[in-house]
Amino acid sequence: MIDRRVLLTSSLTMLASSPLFARQRRIGRLVIIGGAEDKLRDRVILRRFVELCGGPAARIRVLSAASSEPQASWETYRAVFADLGVTDCAPIEIPDRDAANSAAVTDRILEADGIFISGGDQRRLMNLIWESDAFRALHVAFHLRGCCVGGTSAGAAALSRHMLVQGEATRLPEKEAAELDIGLGFVAGAIIDQHFSERGRLGRLLSVMAQRPQMLGVGVDEDTALVIERGQSIEVIGKGAVTIVDGRAMHSNHDEIESRARLEMIGVRLHLLPAGHHYGTDARGRWSPKVPVALREAVDQLVTPGPIRG
């Protein structure tokens, strides 16, 4: 007997390469927003998201299932994208698991040039879509169609495979001060935190780095976005900065202490990347000599996408 999920994934893969999706092949991009992005004035981040989706003619779909008021969240972004000239914007409505496995939802995801994931509660979002047809369709959209995926606040946290779901903003890092769960997996090698500087979350990000030392920690400030062009480069836009914590070469006492004890973390690297800066190779694949090797290695890990999940 053929497994239904295997059959669906195979069908979606073939569909994504069919003439129905014969538009020019694009490179999937991620727009990871730290929350509280400007929706009223210059709207630098949302304007850039529209541009990366293909401009005002792009088909943009809004997934607001993380919100406790998904209809109100959708209406907010509908109005913003309309003001930015987008003529084809529609909601991806997932009130329950049945909807997450419906053809109507997967069709809406697969037709999109851009998918925007709202704030709210990242765990609520993942409880609705984990291992659903919608989850698999999101992967086909990003990996095979080159759809641009943006997420703000909870929507940003959900983009990583190891998803930070809760934890107090500790002054100093403590063992198990924060909790991780499974996210969408578009960012395979990093854990994303949002509202970063505004809520003093460096301590909690360091705490989860001790739990997952092979990962990078990425803290994104409010009204700031990390734009990842898969396999190529990153860029920081908006008003604040992106903090990258790299503990891959550190020594930690994480495995030797009790829960909530203070962590020793030696050899941690920290990169502070302000808005307005781009990091990646040039057209010939060369790095600027001004970029240190440690940052190059971190960027390489960030731009390497997670596997397509079926």
Q: Which residues are catalytic?
A: 153, 195, 222
Pairing relation of β-strands 216-220 and 190-194?
A: parallel
Please list, in sequence order, all residues whose beta carbon lies within 8 angstroms of the beta carbon of residue 11, skipping any fewer than 6 positions away.
Answer: none
Which tokens in the block code for residue 138? Answer: 């999101």
Q: Which of 134, 62, 61, 125 is nearest to 103 (CA)?
A: 134
SS (H, E, C) 262-309: ECCEECCEEEEEECCEEEECCCCCCCCCCCCHHHHHHHHHHHCECCCC
Q: What is the H or E stretch that residue 97 is in? A: helix 97-100
| Cβ burial 137-160 (10 Å sphere, 16+ → b, else e) | bbbbbbbbbbbbbbbbbbbbbbbb
What CA–CA distance (Å, rounded) separates 287 from 279? 8
Whether the CB-CB separation of 142 and 158 falls below 8 Å is answered with no
What CA–CA distance (Å, rounded) separates 74 from 145? 24
Whether the CB-CB separation of 234 and 208 falls below 8 Å is answered with no
| Cβ burial 91-122 (10 Å sphere, 16+ → b, else e) | bbbbeeeebbbbeebbebbbbbbbbbbbbbbb
Identify the residue whose tokens are 């997967």: 106
Please list, in sequence order, all residues whose beta carbon lies within 8 angstroms of the beta carbon of residue 50, skipping any fewer than 6 positions away.
Answer: 56, 58, 60, 81, 84, 85, 86, 114
Q: What is the CA radius of gyration of the chain?
A: 19
